[in-house]
Amino acid sequence: MSGTIVIENIQGHDVSEDMIVEAAELFSSNYGIWGPFAEERMGTFGRFCKPGRPVKMSKNRLREQSLAPGTDSVLVRATVDGKLAGHAFATFWEHEGHKIGWITQLCVGQNFRRNGLATKILSHLRENKHDHSFGILSSHPATIRAALRAFGHGIEQVDLSGIKALIPAIMKSSPVPYVKMATPTGSLFDQGDQTGAVCCADTAFWVDHAEPLAALNVIKEDGIKWPFGDLPDGCEFLAFSTTTHDAEDLMDPRVM
């Protein structure tokens, strides 16, 4: 990728109307498409979720979801030669004395992908937040890989054993409604789970899984171990990294 990359961190209350409009446009043109069950399962929103149509986000919905009033939230923007190329939103809170950061959205424009930009954005977000544990939900394995690289030691060194005990209570304590309402799912949380999922959450987000599953096949073809299991419809992969300090405190090993 040629061009000058600038990455900036903007506190929620300083995010301007123009920035949120740009972010909503980037998302709406680049995120992905609705899956086959979206229309019937999304209730009253179903009429906006026709299978195969782009998943779109209005600026108001984006503010409501990712920069909700009263939350400690942040936008990290990456521009290439002045043009918005990717962004992440994150919300921070404390749970039983532990500092948590949750990525509520990560999106990189199609022309800028596979150049390490998502990883750079998340690494920038982590600066000055080394005392925080970070979580993310995503149907896209590349998002999970970027988070594992930025917050931990990469996909090669994932150890999910600590998540089982930690994550349900942390998610329940989140000020972000969709994180709070998501249900951790997969064999890590329920030994009787038959879906093939290992570490996912049911978020009732009926996005199409063709692109994420193609990315997962690339990972498997490359011989990389994928510990999160399969991705049932309506679910997202769940990654969480603890700080060394938190891990000791909570008697759980580092997750990644």
Count of chain residues binding ligand COA (CB under 6 A):
25
Instruction: List all residues 6 or more positions away from 69 whose beta carbon is below 8 Å from its beta carbon.
Output: none
How near is the Cβ of 97 to ligand COA at its closest, in Å?
27
Which of 10, 181, 219, 250 lies at the binding interface for ligand COA (CB under 6 A)?
219
The size of the chain, in residues, is: 256
Burial class (CB in 10 A: 0-12, 13-18, 19+), 223: exposed
> Would you say 89 or 252 has its CB closer to ligand COA?
89
Binding to ligand COA by CB under 6 A, coded x per residue (else -) over 220-239, reads: --------------------
Residue span binding ligand COA (CB under 6 A) among the ranges 68-76, 180-188, 211-219, 247-255: 211-219
Torsion of CA 147, 61, 180, 75, to 10 degrees: 40
- The 90-119 site mask, x for binding ligand COA (CB under 6 A), equals ---------------xxxx----xxxxxxx
Window 147-186: residues binding ligand COA (CB under 6 A): 149, 154-155
Name which of residues 17 to 36 contact ligand COA (CB under 6 A): 31-32
Site string for ligand COA, 41-80 (x = CB under 6 A): ----------------------------------------
Whether the CB-CB separation of 141 and 219 falls below 8 Å is answered with yes
Which of the ranges 43-51, 62-70, 142-150, 198-206 carries the binding residues for ligand COA, by CB under 6 A? 142-150
Q: Which is nearer to ligand COA, 33 or 250 (CB)?
A: 33
Under the rule (CB under 6 A), what is the footprint of ligand COA?
Answer: 31-32, 105-108, 113-119, 138, 140, 142-143, 145-146, 149, 154-155, 215, 218-219
